[in-house]
Structure 1
Amino acid sequence: MSRFIFTPTAISGVYIIEPKPIKDSRGYYERYFCVEDFKEIGLNKPIVQINHSKTLVKGCIRGFHYQNPPYAEVKIIRCIKGAIFDVALDLRKNSPTFLQYVSVELNEENSKYLYIPEGCAHAFQTLTEESELLYPVTAFYSPEHDRSINPLDKKINVDWRLTPIGLSDKDKNAAFIDNSFKGVELS
């Protein structure tokens, strides 16, 4: 029996995940991750790294980040402190939802995750001061394969919850999508 509820979104392969904690008077116990449970939604690669992100300022945007093959990665995002507006953007060539996004609020109270498959980019906006994320990934970071799309790109037109602030130089200077962008081709 799975310790998670996997809810598909409008983008194939992107899931909102809710853990099923066991609660009692002392608090609760829950699994953060189980490879057997995640096979249910197609995770067939090992987790090779777990990243921890802390953002101090409310309204800050990070992303859209992704890696090209052969370093394309699955990301499993969870907010462990504070709250974020989390976004997955479909960049998969020939996908019926190419350049569409889905979003969800992740926070320390709802304990939800966002499962982002290979070929999708990730961005988030902090909704509180001091927001922290933990996210396992299935590929090592590769600077040569690292890519970004500007989170303020009008072609994507994300409805950020707050006035965007705090973009890194990398994100401010990230490319806007133009007609030459054909998407990520996965093997």
Structure 2
Amino acid sequence: MKFEPTPLKDAWVISLNRLGDDRGYFARAFCRKEFEDHGIDPTIAQCNTSFNKDAGTMRGMHYQVDPAAESKMVRCVRGALYDVIIDMRPKSPTYLKHFGIELTAENQQMLYVPGNFAHGFLTMEPDTQAFYMVGEFYTPTCERGLRHDDPAFGIEWPAPIEVISDKDKNWPLLDGGAK
């Protein structure tokens, strides 16, 4: 695997190192040792999948706080999505900064999301499916969320948002003000 740091502290884009022949290719998609070598806690508590039938479907921005902060490794296994993370760690040098990347079934890149980072994505194609490994169990009392359109972050989504849950569109703004 190839680990490329993002502009956000402790977040990584991970690419497969494909070994190919006339049958296709083989690639390692997870290795505890390689994760540890990059300072990443390799704990996997859950594996989740998200199928989205329509392009323009927004999921997020979700995170969990301590003591159940979730790290995630996100990969698009069908279609394409634009994935965004926000550093919500007050003591981090990249606090409240965001990073976005297109993950597709074709590019097979993965995004490592540290704990205490908000995470969300917008589907760019119909029938898009994400698969992610999560480092902590879902804990409703620790769940938090942010608005995808909060001006405090200035996220520029690459396409219109057509489908979003009531929960996701009604998260409070960071400063508590009304939109």
- Equivalent residue, structure 2, for 1:48: 45
Q: CA deviation at 1:44?
A: 2.6
Find the aligned partners of 1:135 and 1:42 in 2 and give their Cα distance: 19
Question: How many equivalent pairs are there?
Answer: 177
Who is 2:166 aligned against? 169
SS of alignment partner, residue 55 of structure 2: coil
Tell me which stretches of 4 or more aligned residues in structure 1 moved more than 4 Å.
none
SS of 1:36 mapped into structure 2? helix
Q: CA deviation at 1:28?
A: 1.0
Q: Partners of 2:40 and 2:24 in 1: how far apart?
A: 30
In structure 1, list runs of 5 or more residues that go unmatched.
Answer: 181-187
2:135 to 113, 135, 138: 138
How far 1:36 sits from its partner (Å)?
Answer: 1.2
CA-CA distance at 1:45 after TM superposition: 4.8
Supply the AA of the counterpart residue of 2:103: L
2: CA distance, partners of 1:179 / 1:168 = 20
Letter of the aligned partner of 1:20 in structure 2? N
Return the TM-score normalized by structure 2. Answer: 0.95
- Superposition map of 1:91-170 within 5 A: 91-170=88-167
Match of 2:7 in 1: 10
Q: Which runs of 5+ in 2 are unaligned?
A: none
Give distance in 1, aligned partners of 2:15 and 2:9. 18
* Aligned-partner Cα distance in 2 for 1:40–1:9: 17
Determine the C-alpha separation between the residues in 2 that align with 1:44 and 1:113: 16
Aligned AA for 2:48?
N
Partners of 2:36 and 2:42 within 8 A in 1: no
User: 2 CA distance for matches of 1:44 and 1:161?
Assistant: 31
Contact 2:45 / 2:136 at 8 angstroms: preserved in 1? yes
Amino acid at match of 1:71: A
Residue aligning to 1:38: 35
1:1-43 Cα distance to aligned partner (Å, 9 max, x none): xxx1100011110111101011111111112211111112222
Distance 1:69 1:165 in 2: 32
Secondary structure in 1 aligned to 2:37?
helix
SS in 2 for 1:144: helix
**Cα distance in 2 for residues equivalent to 1:179 and 1:125:** 24
State how far apart, in whole Å, the 1-side matches of 2:124 and 2:37 are. Answer: 31
Partner of 1:184: none
1:88-119 deviations in Å (ceiling 9; x for gaps): 10111122221110111100111100111011
Determine the structure 2 residue equivalent to 1:185: none
1:20 to 4, 17, 42: 17
Q: Give the superposition deviation at 1:179.
A: 6.8
> Hey, what's the Cα distance between the residues in 1 that align with 2:52 and 2:168?
15
